[in-house]
Amino acid sequence: AGQEISWIYCGDKIDPIHEKYIKEWEGKNPGWKVTPEVVGWEQCQDKATTLAAAGTPVGMAYVGSRTLKEFAQNDLIVPVPMTDDEKKSYYPNIVDTVTFNGTQWGVPVAFSTKALYWNKDLFKQAGLDPESPPKTWAEEIADAKAIKEKTGIAGYGLPAKTFDNTMHQFMHWVYTNNGKVIDGDKIVMDSPEVLAALQAYKDITPYSVEGATAYEQNEIRAIFLDGKVGMIQAGSGAAARLKDTKINWGVAPLPLGPSAKGKGTLLITDSLAVFKGTGVEDKAIEFAKFITSPGPQGEYELQGGAGLTPLRPSPKVDEFVKADPSWQPFIDGIAFGGPEPLFTDYKGFQNSMIEMVQSVVTGKAEPADALKKAAGEIDAFK
Amino acid sequence: MGQLFLNRVQKFFGDFEVLKGVQLEVKNGEFVVFVGPSGCGKSTLLRMIAGLDATSAGDIVIDGVRVNDLPPVKRGIAMVFQSYALYPHMSVFENIAFPLRVENMEEEKLKAKVEHAARILHLDQRLQQKPGMLSGGQRQRVAIGRAIVREPKIFLFDEPLSNLDAALRADMRIELAKLHRQLKATMIYVTHDQVEAMTMADRIVVLNAGEIAQTGAPLELYHKPANIFVASFIGNPKMNFLPVTCIGASTAGVEIDYKGQKATIPVAPRQGGAGKELTLGVRPEHIQIGSGDITLTVAPTVIERLGAQTVAYASLDGEGENFCATLPGSAGVRPDQALLAGINVADCHLFDEKGIAFERQVELTDIDMNLLNPTAAA
Amino acid sequence: MGQLFLNRVQKFFGDFEVLKGVQLEVKNGEFVVFVGPSGCGKSTLLRMIAGLDATSAGDIVIDGVRVNDLPPVKRGIAMVFQSYALYPHMSVFENIAFPLRVENMEEEKLKAKVEHAARILHLDQRLQQKPGMLSGGQRQRVAIGRAIVREPKIFLFDEPLSNLDAALRADMRIELAKLHRQLKATMIYVTHDQVEAMTMADRIVVLNAGEIAQTGAPLELYHKPANIFVASFIGNPKMNFLPVTCIGASTAGVEIDYKGQKATIPVAPRQGGAGKELTLGVRPEHIQIGSGDITLTVAPTVIERLGAQTVAYASLDGEGENFCATLPGSAGVRPDQALLAGINVADCHLFDEKGIAFERQVELTDIDMNLLNPTAAA
Amino acid sequence: MKQPHLLINRYKWYEIIGIYAGILVFLTFVLAPFVEGFLVSLKPLSQLFSSPYRFIPENGSFEAYRTMWVSVPGFARYIFNSFFISTVVTSVVLVLVIPAAYAFARFEFKGAGVLLGAFLAVNMFSGAVLLIPLFRLMRSFGLLNTYFAIMVPGIAFLIPSAIWLLRTYMMRIPRELDEAAFVDGASHFYTLRRVILPIAMPGITVVAITTFIGSYAQQFIYALTFNSKTEFAPLPVGLFAYFGRQEVVWNELMAASFVGIAPAMIVIFFLQRYLVSGLTAGAVKQ
Amino acid sequence: MSVQRNAVIFAWILLFPAVLYVTVIVAYPLVDTFILSFTDASLKKTTNWVGWVNYGKIFNSTFAEVIFRTFVWTFFSVSIKMIIGVFGATMLNSAVPGRALFRVLTMPPWVVPMAIGIFMWGWMYNGQFGMISGMLQRLGLASGPVAFLAEGSTAFWATIITDVWIGVPLVTLYMLAAMQAIPQDLYEAAWTDGAGRFYRFRRITLPLIVPSMITMSMLSLIATFNSFDIIWILTRGGPSGETTTMIIDTYRTAIGSNKYGEGAARAVLICIFLSIFCLCYFRVTSRLASGDKR
Ligand SMILES: Nc1ncnc2c1ncn2[C@@H]1O[C@H](COP(=O)(O)OP(=O)(O)OP(=O)(O)O)[C@@H](O)[C@H]1O
Ligand SMILES: Nc1ncnc2c1ncn2[C@@H]1O[C@H](COP(=O)(O)OP(=O)(O)OP(=O)(O)O)[C@@H](O)[C@H]1O
Ligand SMILES: [Mg+2]
Ligand SMILES: [Mg+2]
């Protein structure tokens, strides 16, 4: 009897590489069929959740790893434990993004990190050395100031719209200053490291794109592509786009804060979650592991342009980086990077963080107060 | 069958009592005309009979069945609305055909019927037009057409000819009379046209402020109005009224005094009336120039020459009331030229202080006016 | 000032020519009544004068200014619509006050005016009601009220009294006449009521199928209709027509032969008419029983007793035409009892084969009917 | 142009200018975002965002109008689905709503007000909250992943406002017309069909357009959640196919939007003729 | 009375299909939502009855602010929609050549899937690349980019304008239909009495479309109160929560955080608010509609 694994697949269409490997897997598992349903990015996760909540879960869904904790706690998904070998095959810290209660709840399928892009032309116009990007926050702020004052063009692109990404961007700063939001079950956000990050936000705002709260990262990136901002932090996708422009650009690891221990970044992964109660859980796990195994995954993530960072080190990756050194900073950050903090009510947590950032950026609150307030709020979302 | 009985029918709009207990029996096949001042409740009564307005109290009985709760169609009536109520989206043909379509009449028969009605109503040229393209009179005729193609037990007409010219109106009158004879249907007809009322009615019902003032055959109302209201309402121009004093009564009638002139009015006498203030009524058409049992010298202020008749208006000194006389078309009267108006007692009406008429000793041999002795009225 | 001149005014609705070149001059302060069969174009003409319908051809001139392209308000007219056109959302008061509100009249003066108009129209009790709660006649009075509170140069009334009872209608007639005198405004008035037309008009315009059939003072139309159409349209019941043969003409008039009876009709003679088929017209009210210059033996089939008058209808043998006589209310006629109807030649009208009248030798001393010698007409 | 019969409809030159100016202002507001959208559809993706703002795009082309069909091959199907779904939904809604609106407009009965309010209450809950219970309902009816999954809830949520709109419109039709029909022996139903329906045409047209658009373009969330099959997906869902992995293909998305709304615009164009004035001309003396 | 009873029965027959349909499809979800509002339903498989707790939770410090903002937002949006809609309908109601085309050209904002329309506004509001900011700079009215969504105050109005834009076609269309139903002879009568176009509009058109305006504004009020996509796509309720309305709040709770119980409580609350509001509105306006007191 044929069985079916339904898969909510985010995006506009199924990646040809996935299509190829689905066929391959189906070939190896006669009687089994994988039926991906393509759902737009905005809605795919909600749809998976709704279906699960309504009692007809899909076999497998592409979700942000941050939601795994919530799914797990509510008994919607099954654990997908990794063997030590498997764990080891990934870059450091990646497995953490899917780990909760000591086991893994999803299979990472996509990974992204950020680096600093800078516009060499603007640096030159501002009298800065176009070949030396800022290494620390202090330099970054100073460079931004110089650009703003000398050229009248914004020095830094700070996205602070009410969007997920606003928190992500801030988390990059937290992780480049060795900060932490939650440690185990304890909120540790109200720390000097995080405060410094927030203070830096406040300091760089005057030299940032006017109206930070109106932009999210893609919009900021568009401004950068248009040459109207000196520096942004963005994923690998920006590089591919920059190649189509006339802009002289460089990409470097994210600048570090005073308490940094090394290059850091926020590690965001998306995972394949396997839902409980479908009767095909085991097969789904099997398929999930297959489709994210080094072969298919490597082929998938290194197509370029998609803005993905490789999940696993491999000779192929090294080759790739050699061919295009702009990949290096994205991989460098992984070492001291941190995961998205896992909260039961992740959205609640995120809203508080955004609120905090916005209140500082718009000057409505002092960093210390904002931080204290947010730290208090997010306790409820653990 | 189309026998109708209204039993103490009342109608309130909010607190406003429009009909105050109307009691009326209409025989099958009778032609009853409702007349009354504007706003007295004629349309309302018609609408209640039709079943469009709910009855606040009382019963409406058709052919022995209390129909208060029946919808219009079950009452077997057809109605011409005062406001026409044409279907604006349908051609004249379809408007007239509507009731037949409802009955699912076969196309050919329907067409014949509609075309017949249209011919009667002089609408044959307009059958394909929409109501919006018609003149007022044409619309009204369409509304009539819609009622007459059906053959109901009871027709209700609400001022159906008011927008037609005299010639057409005379035509229509004849057509409706013909229809009445043919179908032997009961017809209830509201009109403001006295000629229509007098010529068409078997019986006229005079309504006044929601009450029946009098019911009777046309000539009965004309010759023997029951009260001042009916006396003044029936007849055009309206009856002249003179204040008189009662000085006595005898079998010959009631003796009165008008400004020193004494006369005996041949009405059924009542006892103990002496000294009372009464009202003498005389119709303009009964005024003759020169002599009479009672005479008045009046100087007409306005002379209306209608061709066939001349109407002279004067105001009686002292009283604001107009005094009016209908004279032959060729009458030699001139404005402000005083003349002697003579009144014969046989033509007079007499009303008591409450406006109730003394019964005239007019020799109406019978209530059936067809047998009326033509010499009875002056 | 309110002088109006219509110069070959035409109106087409699509291909249908409703008005076929109407030529008319109305003097300032004149009271002109339009009559004509239903659908002949009266309302259309009024709407064109008002400036509501476009003129297809010709000029409308008010006080010497061609107003074809001016909006109504610049023409200084007020109009009562045949369809009332009341504002359903406004109380009676506001409906009547509307034109004054437009003028921004101050509240107190406005109130006084509206209340005055309402009193005249017997609407004082209804001022706070909405049109939907009014009877047909009440609505019509509101429409009149709206026109009369303004004081325009020209009033246009489209059958303003058609839904009123005789008494109220007489009242209103007097009020409108009063208004006419007071304001000295020009009034153009459409009616189907012959009495209204005859009494109110300085001049009557008879329209027939979009053309003016005749214009003239009321009595002129009555006594000297220009053609068969006017002769039959004016006067109620309508004129009787008899087919006669011309046998000659002299200064005394035209000699005719009706079924062997020869008579000389006192009309302006025309040459060479001998042997032609003419039409003799005589009004029902000019028929007398017993004798006459020409006599007919007829047996009335229908007798209508209107009280003041009796109308007898007979059909002349051979001809389908009805023959009608208006007799006194007390006339001793009975259905199917043959009688001798006499016609005096002095009362007769004569029409040629095209329907054009021979001018009657009636001594209308002047076109001004006020000076009319009362003995002129039979 | 032929001069209108009615002089009241003739305008002075300054009135004409005023009216056209008014229309211009109004349409500017209404269409401005589409200008922006249209410009986007003409630009190559790489230079979608460039400042300073230029009204006329540099080397714009209609390329996106071609590639949109290629990058989302099912797009024609989505349009068809939307069209089909909307047509069915509109028909059903009209069939249900016309009698109901008539009942509310013409009959006085106990509970009319409450019922009318209850219909409104349906619209007071946002779709998002009702999603899960509705989903369960659809599942128990076995309607998931069919055209019905999209139509059935769509109809339910379009009914209330349709009833309200039509009821208000019908209340303006002179009551005498119904009465005349009843007197002529027509049943209520016959009256509704032959008298009220034609006269209420402008109101019905508005409701039809509203419903059609509502289900053609606006009802997205049910279509998304209750249906997983691409072959049944309507236009709004289909348009999301242009949202790529990282980047939205804006130019094609816009081109597709323009192409997608064209059929609905054509429908409106034909329906708007029924918004004719003077439908009650000559009906009653006012 | 039985004429009445017959009519009532018939009325119910007419209503039955619609009522049945809506009941079958919507009643269950509505009741379910209502029940849910007293539970702690979430992604968890088990739900517990918690009584009024969910309602208690709503009334926190920001709640009053959100409610107030929602009402203000709705008020402005509906009023502007009505004003522009009536204005547009008036223009499109004039007998000028090309009006059929103009009527159709009014419709696109409504025909285009809502999200797309909102994206287009998003671009217009964009400070760097947007049309409005660009035009302002061109015309020298602004010295630099104006990011409309950056400030609470401008974002508030920006979302309102977008909502207005999406709602205007329907209002216009409906008002147009209402205007077309006014008998021509009323205008003619007013015209002969000297009333100019504007006066006729004010004294005849306007009062006669009031019933339609009441209906439309109420439907619009409900839709606007629940208007979600616009704010969500443009600002997500930000910045700093300054465009957060009740429905955004509800969505965040119910869908964002998967707290179905709490979300349901908020939804029920919205319904209660709206019901009360509609009732009052209807009371007030129907009195207003029945009198033309100038
Ligand atoms: N919009 C129109 N389209 C076509 N024909 C029309 C239109 N309006 C009026 N007519 C026709 O023009 C003729 C004259 O109409 P009008 O209303 O002027 O008549 P009328 O003399 O006022 O009649 P009535 O006494 O019945 O009111 C009628 O035959 C009518 O059918
Ligand atoms: N819906 C209503 N609400 C309140 N009063 C009303 C309503 N309908 C009619 N009336 C009043 O009832 C009275 C009788 O109206 P009805 O229409 O029966 O009069 P009518 O005798 O037909 O008068 P007309 O001869 O003027 O047509 C009028 O005074 C009218 O104002
Ligand atoms: Mg009446
Ligand atoms: Mg007319």
Residue A73 exposed, middle or buried by CB count within 10 Å (0-12, 13-18, 19+): middle
Quick one: what percent of chain B has pLDDT higher than 70? 94
pLDDT of E3 higher than 70 = no
pLDDT at E23 over 50: yes
pLDDT for residue B370: 46
> Within 13 Å and on the Cβ side, how many CA atoms surround E174?
34
Q: Is the peptide bond before C237 cis (omega within 30 degrees of 0)?
A: yes
In a domain, E26, yes or no: no
What local confidence, expressed as pLDDT, does residue E77 receive? 93
Subunit contact E149:A226, Cβ cutoff 8 A: no
Element (H, E) at B314: strand B309-315
Amino acid at residue number D81: N
Mean pLDDT lowest for which of B350-354, C325-329, D253-257, E282-286?
A: E282-286
Evaluate if residue B199 carries a pLDDT over 80: yes
Tens digits of residue pLDDT in C158-198: 888 888 888 888 888 888 888 888 888 888 999 888 888 88
The gap from C-alpha A361 to its chain's centroid, in whole angstroms, comes to: 22
For residues D70 and B216, the model is more confident at: B216
CB A268 within 8 A of CB A287: no
- D36 touching E, CB under 8 A? yes
Domains in chain B (CATH in brackets) are 4-229 (3.40.50.300), 230-377 (2.40.50.100)
CA of C174 from ligand 2 middle (Å) equals: 24
pLDDT-derived band at B365, boundaries 50, 70, 90 = very low
Q: What is the mean pLDDT of each run of 10 residues along chain D (286 residues)?
A: 58 85 90 86 75 71 83 84 91 93 87 85 78 82 84 89 89 85 83 87 88 82 78 82 70 86 86 73 68
D128 vs E196, more confident: E196
Q: How far is D246 from chain A (nearest CA, A)?
A: 6
What pairs with residue B204 in β-bridges? B33, B216
Chain D residues within 8 A of C88 when measuring between CB atoms = 286
Alpha carbon distances (Å) from C207 to C18, C45, E80: 11, 10, 54
- B140 in contact with ligand 1, CB cutoff 6 A: no
For B111, phi then psi, to 5°, come to -60, -45
Q: What element of type H or E holds B302?
A: strand B302-305
Domain extent, residue E249, equals 57-290
Place of tokens 């039985």: E2
**pLDDT over 70 at C319, yes or no:** no
Which residues on chain A are in Cβ contact (under 8 Å) with E259?
Answer: 345
Q: In what order do the strands lie in the sheet with A115-119?
A: A154-156, A229-234, A115-119, A249-252
pLDDT in tens, E212-236: 888 889 889 888 888 888 888 888 8
Ligand 1: does its nearest atom lie under 6 Å from the Cβ of B162?
no
Q: How distant is the alpha carbon of residue C324 from its chain centre?
A: 21
* Mean pLDDT value of segment C246-262: 85
Nearest to B139 among D185, D280, D282 (CB): D282
Query: In which region does residue A163 sit, left (phi positive, over 0), alpha (psi from -120 to 50) or beta (all else)?
Result: beta
Distance CA D193, CA D188 (A): 9
- Phi first, then psi, for residue E164 (nearest 5°) are -60, -45
- D-contacting chains (≥3 CB pairs under 8 Å): A, B, C, E
Contact A341, A349 (CB under 8 A): yes
D2 contacts chain C (CB < 8 A): no
Quick one: pLDDT at residue C363?
60
pLDDT tier at B375 (50, 70, 90 boundaries)? very low
Report the largest interatomic distance among the alpha carbons of chain A, rounded to a whole angstrom: 72
pLDDT for D1: 34
Number of domains observed in the structure of chain E: 1
Residue A280's pLDDT is 85
Distance B41 CA to ligand 2 centre (A): 6
Look at residue B115 and tell me whether its pLDDT is greater than 80.
yes
CATH number for the region D67-282 comes to: 1.10.3720.10
Touch between chain A and chain B: 3 or more Cβ pairs under 8 Å: no
β pairing state of A338-339 and A266-274: parallel
Contact E4 B54 (CB under 8 A): yes
Q: Which residues of B touch C224 (CB under 8 A)?
A: none
Query: What per-residue confidence (pLDDT) applies to D99?
Result: 92
Least confident of B150-159, B331-340, C88-97, D161-170: B331-340
Residues 6+ apart with CB under 8 A from C169: B192, C161, C193, C196
| Average pLDDT of the residues in A145-167 | 86
- Quote the pLDDT of residue A30: 84
Query: B-E interface: how many C-beta pairs under 8 angstroms?
Result: 16
pLDDT at A163: 83
- Backbone dihedral angles phi then psi of residue C151, each to the nearest 5 degrees: -125, 75
Considering only CB atoms, which chain C residues are within 8 Å of D285?
82-84, 136, 139
Cβ of C13 below 6 Å from ligand 1 = yes
What average pLDDT does the segment C280-303 reach?
Answer: 85
Closest Cα partner for A159 from E131, E142, E149, D246?
E149
> B305: CA distance to ligand 4 center in Å?
26
Tokens matching residue D96: 């249900």
Closest CA to E112 of D219, D237, D218, D232: D218
In this prediction, residue E86 carries a pLDDT of: 93
pLDDT tens-digit series, residues A242-261: 877 788 888 888 888 888 77
Q: Taking 70 as the threshold, does the pLDDT of residue B326 lie above it?
A: yes
Decide: B155 and B146 in contact? Cβ < 8 Å: no
Of A115-119, A350-354, C359-363, the one with minimum mean pLDDT is C359-363
Q: Do D217 and E166 form a contact (C-beta atoms < 8 A)? A: no
How confident is residue A177, by pLDDT bands cut at 50, 70 and 90? confident
Structure tokens at C156: 């246009």
Q: In this structure, what token pair is assigned to residue D9?
A: 């409809």
Confidence of residue A2 (pLDDT cuts 50, 70, 90): low
How far apart (Å, rounded) are the C-alpha atoms in residues E294 and E284? 17
| Average pLDDT of span A312-325 | 80
Q: What is the pLDDT of residue C378?
A: 30
Average pLDDT over residues A301-313: 73
pLDDT(A190) > 80: yes
All residues at 6 or more sequence positions from B76 whose CB lies less than 8 Å from its CB, including other chains:
B2, B62, B152, B153, B154
pLDDT score for D163 = 92
pLDDT tens digit string along E87-134? 999 988 887 888 888 888 888 888 888 888 888 888 888 887 788 888
Residue E277 above 50 pLDDT?
yes
> Which D positions 60-79 lie with beta carbon below 8 A of chain E?
none
- Burial zone of B368 (CB within 10 Å; 0-12 exposed, 13-18 middle, 19+ buried): exposed
Residue A114 has pLDDT above 60, yes or no: yes
Distance of alpha carbon A237 from alpha carbon A220, whole angstroms = 13
Of all residues in chain E, what percent carry a pLDDT higher than 90? Answer: 12
Q: Which of A263, A248, A297, A76 is nearest to A175 (CA)?
A: A263
How far CA D146 is from CA of D52, D149, D214, E293, in Å, comes to: 48, 5, 19, 55
* Angle (CA) B123 B128 B133, round 5°: 80
Q: Chains meeting A at 3+ CB pairs closer than 8 A?
A: D, E
Closest CA to ligand 2's atom 2 = C133
Give the model's pLDDT for residue C371: 40
Task: Give strand pairing partners of B16.
Answer: B13
Distances (CA, A) of B370 to A80, B118, E41: 112, 33, 92
* Whether the predicted interface score ipTM is above 0.95: no
Q: What is the pLDDT of residue D265?
A: 87
Contact at CB, B137 and C330, closer than 8 angstroms: no
B95 C-alpha vs ligand 1 centroid, how far in Å? Answer: 18
C49 lines ligand 1 (CB under 6 A): no
Residue C269 has pLDDT above 70, yes or no: yes
**Can you give the CATH number for the domain in which E240 is found?**
1.10.3720.10
Angle at alpha carbon of residue B90, lines to B84 and B94, rounded to 5°: 90
Q: What does the pLDDT average to over C362-366?
A: 53
Mean pLDDT taken over chain C: 84
Distance of CA A150 to the CA centre of its chain: 33
Displacement of CA C211 from its chain's centroid (Å)? 15
Ligand nearest to the CA of C45: 1
Q: Where are the domains of chain D?
A: 13-60, 67-282
User: DSSP per residue over E67-133, as a string?
Assistant: HHHHHHHHHHHHHHHHHHHHHHHHHHHS--TTHHHHHHHT-HHHHS-HHHHHHHHHHHH-TTT-HHH
pLDDT at B213 over 50: yes
* CB atoms A38 and D241 under 8 Å: yes
pLDDT band at B306 (very low <50, low <70, confident <90, very high): confident
A165 token code pair: 């990404």
State residue D244's pLDDT score. 63
Q: Are A265 and A176 in contact (CB under 8 A)?
A: yes
Instruction: Check whether C318 has a pLDDT greater than 70.
Output: no
Q: Compute the mean pLDDT over every residue in chain B, rounded to the nearest whole number.
A: 84
Question: Is the confidence at residue B301, as pLDDT, over 90?
Answer: no
Contacts of B36 (CB under 8 A, 6+ apart): B42, B206, B207, B208, B213, B233, C165
In contact, B140 and C43? CB cutoff 8 Å: no
- Shortest Cα–Cα distance, E98 to chain D (Å): 10
Q: Round the average pLDDT of chain E to a whole number and report it.
A: 84
DSSP state of C67: -
What does A20-45 look like in DSSP terms, one character per residue?
Answer: HHHHHHHHHSTTEEEEEEEE-HHHHH
Mean per-residue pLDDT, A269-274: 87
pLDDT value for B368 = 36
Q: If you count DSSP H runs as helices and E runs as strands, how many of each does chain D have, helices first?
A: 13, 0
- At C1 the pLDDT is 67
Per-residue confidence at B319, pLDDT binned at 50, 70, 90? low
